[in-house]
Amino acid sequence: MPFSKSALSEQDLVKGCILNDRRMQELLYRQYCSSMMVLCKSYAKNEEDAIEVLQDGFLKIFQQIDKYDTNVSSMYTWMRTVMIRTAIDFLRRQNKKSVSVEWKEEHDPPIEAEALQRMSAQQIQCMLQHLPATTRMVFNLYVTEGYSHKEIGELLTISEGTSRWHLSEARKYLINLLKAKERA
């Protein structure tokens, strides 16, 4: 029997998933799949990796859904956190070699807000795909997710200075791409 999105509450979906009800798992997956895929694409190098992160993330969500607490966060926020950590784990496995570069205090050139506003999210995401995995991860965690350099360092097991360096490199790369695009 098919269910409509509005027919079941989030609480019903969670209860069904805890009971390992495949229909409830499918409904939860369908409800959040597209928004989680956008998130995965922002961390992954390509579509195939994003799909793998998405699938691994949903597997973790279904395995850990009994730990979800409605008093702590919304379902979306909790799932987003699981997906981000899954993406980080995936990229760590892909990037067995750890880059440790210390950042020295400099003024990063600003990215022109106007130039970014003229671009679609898809264009920006495409530009980010060309960054090295760790640099892309730091950029996403800092700019998109709002993590501090200290938190990023703890998540990625790098120093705060290395996190700053990766963010600086990402900004330089994006600025150069924007300049090249404006000249073209």
Whether residue 136 contacts residue 171, with contact meaning beta carbons closer than 8 Å, is answered with: no
Query: How many C-beta neighbours within 10 Å does residue 44 have?
Result: 23
Domain of 140, in residue numbers: 113-183
Is a pLDDT exceeding 80 seen at residue 96? no
State pTM to two decimals. 0.69
Alpha helices in the chain (DSSP H): 10-18, 22-43, 47-64, 75-94, 113-117, 121-128, 133-139, 149-156, 160-183
Same structural domain, 28 and 76: yes
For the stretch 120-154, pLDDT in tens is 667 777 888 888 888 999 998 998 889 999 999 99
> Which CATH number covers residue 37?
1.10.1740.10
First and final C-alpha spacing in the chain: 55
Q: Say if 14 falls within a structural domain.
A: yes
> Which CATH number covers residue 174?
1.10.10.10
pLDDT band of 1, cuts 50, 70, 90: very low
| Rounded Cα distance, 170 and 97, in Å | 19
| Rounded Cα distance, 30 and 37, in Å | 11
Q: Say if 140 falls within a structural domain.
A: yes
Greater confidence, 104 or 41?
41
Q: Say if 122 falls within a structural domain.
A: yes
Average pLDDT over residues 156-176: 90
Q: pLDDT at position 117, please?
A: 54
